[in-house]
Amino acid sequence: MSLYKKKDTIIIKDVTHTYKTETGLLPVIKNLNMSVPENGFTAVVGPSGCGKSTLTKLISGLLQPDEGEVYLGGEKITTPRPTVGMAFQNPVLLEWRSVIKNVILPLEIVPNKLNSLEKEKRAKQLLSLVGLEGFEEKKPSELSGGMRQRASLCRALVHKPEVLILDEPFGALDAFTREDLWQVMHNLRKEEPFTGILITHDLRESIFLADEVVVLSGRPASKQFFVKVPKSKIPKLESLYSSKSIDLLKSLRKQIEIAQNQQEQNK
Amino acid sequence: MRNILVPLYAIIIFLVLWELLVWVNDWPNYKMASPSDIWPAFWKFKVLFFQYGWDTLWRTVVGLFIAVLCGVFLGMIMGFSKVLREAIYPLLVGFNAIPKATVVPIIALMFVGQHDLNTVLIAFMISFFPIAVSVSIGLSTLEPEYRDILRSLGASKSLIFWKIALPKTLPEFFGALKVAVTLAFIGTNLMEIVSPHGRGLGALFDSGKTNSDYPLMFAVLIALALLGIGLYYVVVVLEKIFAGWAERSSD
């Protein structure tokens, strides 16, 4: 089975978005076009403040674009919908709930036919997949930063969303914990296939996890550069140090520099 | 066991030092009554102590209950709407800045003779402010991501309130409630002392003053302290039950 199917799950078509601030209009995204195929995983990188987080809000339906359209699974997005799962840099676990109750949270909101036992079973299955077996009844305050983020990923996936939106989920973790979580992401993808978009500042992360990398231009963001990442079947961290990877990283870095310069000039 | 013994010893040492202080200085009881004067004073009026103690207690609790309802309501309004917060907040601050001792005679005149209503009203007025402020701060400082994880799933505003905003505000709420319970108690007694021919421990204190029964006045103070401790720990227990998650284990 090939990784790609013909159908695109996420389609962003000619999207333009402008914030109204006290000092005037602030265009953040301009004529952005991109798509993610079914079960594909696309990383979006770009200079700080170029509108990446706005993009996640547009895809999840929390914001409406001024112009253009966003489609999920062929349907135009006008409001938030339960077929989306999200995880942020801040894991935002609810401190008063146990880990497993945190993971179950979306199942309490999204319409579904699971009874409480099945919900727990589903959450347990995900928690063991990310290595949190035995931590189900712990409170979030008893977990380390990496463990909290693992739980947050489980929560994003528990209701089997069509689309997973990750907004710098590993940004606040130390380098080694981050690499552990990259492996967790690969496991999750294998066991719980999803169509995903990953916002990140880490170029190594983008090529290690994603099938495609999109570089956004400086604000207002549009697609500046696009590259498919060749993938081995079993992802290994060492592959990041191969000459191929290093060349890819260099070219991505170059693109970021161009975007940064452009953003500087637009100020 | 240690949790009970340590405070108990502290109280005993305190009483002994108090007794010694009066004895060494040879103070008469109108200057300062000693603990050994207080028990007979209490015993002489024990029926009144329980009757009036009950009056003080229920007035405080009812006043506090109304303060919780109004405080949470105001806090919710201010927490959810920036415009309403800007509109209401200065009014609230101004109202809170008025020393309640000056409001007591006004209320007492407004509803002459209606001791229960007067007292409950003052207890309420003095104690709702910290609750309103804490709830509004708790709600308005909710990190947007908390809202977004539920909003992105299509959750309604009221669902977000029940699942996230309300429980997240509970620790702040109970912190304010601990302050409010003491304030309400002060309010009740202010009114009881001022109201002529009223009931409650405050009235008993006042009659001690009129009859120059100084040990009685001190006995009322001790009774008030005991009631205050009781009320405070009721709030602590409620906090443990509803917001115990916010407490980090110390080890």
Per-residue pLDDT of chain B (251 residues; tens, 9 = 90+): 788 899 899 999 999 999 999 999 999 888 888 888 888 989 999 999 999 999 999 999 999 999 999 999 999 999 888 899 999 989 999 998 998 888 888 988 888 888 899 999 999 999 999 999 999 988 888 888 888 888 888 888 888 888 888 888 999 899 999 999 999 999 999 999 988 788 899 999 999 989 988 899 999 999 999 999 999 999 999 999 888 887 765 54
| Domain annotation covers residue A253 | yes
Record: contact A81-B154, CB cut-off 8 A: yes
Q: ipTM surpassing 0.85, yes or no? A: no
Record: contact A62-B153, CB cut-off 8 A: no
| Domain annotation covers residue B15 | no
| Domain annotation covers residue B22 | no
Chain A's closest residue to B248, CA to CA, is A141
| Domain annotation covers residue B63 | yes
Alpha-carbon distance of B199 to B208, in angstroms, equals 13
Alpha-carbon distance of A215 to A194, in angstroms, equals 22
Q: Are A164 and A196 in contact (CB under 8 A)?
A: yes
| Domain annotation covers residue A118 | no
Q: Which residue has the higher pLDDT, B186 or A237?
A: B186
Residue with token string 């009874």: A115
Record: contact A80-B146, CB cut-off 8 A: no
Of residues B48, B100, B15, B63, the one with CA closest to residue B205: B48
Domain that holds residue A256: 1-80+211-267
Dihedral (Cα; B222, B226, B227, B232), 10-degree rounding? 130
The pairing of strands A75-76 and A67-72 is antiparallel
Query: What type of residue is A232?
Result: S
Domain that holds residue B69: 38-243
| Domain annotation covers residue B130 | yes
Query: What type of residue is A150?
Result: R
Chain A's closest residue to B171, CA to CA, is A96
Domain count, chain B: 1
Q: How far is A197 from chain B (nearest CA, A)?
A: 15
| Domain annotation covers residue B5 | no
| Domain annotation covers residue B12 | no
| Domain annotation covers residue A88 | no
If you ran DSSP here, which 8-state letter would residue A221 be given?
Answer: B
pTM, two decimals, is 0.78
| Domain annotation covers residue B156 | yes
Record: contact B245-A81, CB cut-off 8 A: no
If you ran DSSP here, which 8-state letter would residue B241 be given?
Answer: H
CATH code of residue A222: 3.40.50
Query: Which chain A residues are closer than 8 Å to B168 by Cβ?
Result: 94-96
Of residues B44, B200, B37, the one with CA closest to residue B120: B200
Buried-state track B78-97, b at ≥16 Cβ within 10 A, e below 16:
bbeeeeebeebeeebeeebe
Mutate to test the interface with A, among B142, B148, B149 (most CBs of A within 10 A): B149
A111 touches chain B (CB under 8 A): no
Select from B154, B167, B248 the Cβ nearest to the Cβ of A96. Answer: B167
| Domain annotation covers residue B14 | no
Geometric angle at alpha carbon A49, from A47 and A55, rounded to 5°? 95
Alpha-carbon distance of B55 to B202, in angstroms, equals 10
Record: contact A84-B152, CB cut-off 8 A: yes
Domain count, chain A: 1
Select from A84, A88, A94 the Cβ nearest to the Cβ of B164. Answer: A94
Record: contact A80-B152, CB cut-off 8 A: yes
| Domain annotation covers residue A204 | no
For residue A120, pLDDT beyond 80: yes
Q: What is the pLDDT of residue B249?
A: 57
CATH code of residue B85: 1.10.3720.10
Chain B's closest residue to A97, CA to CA, is B245
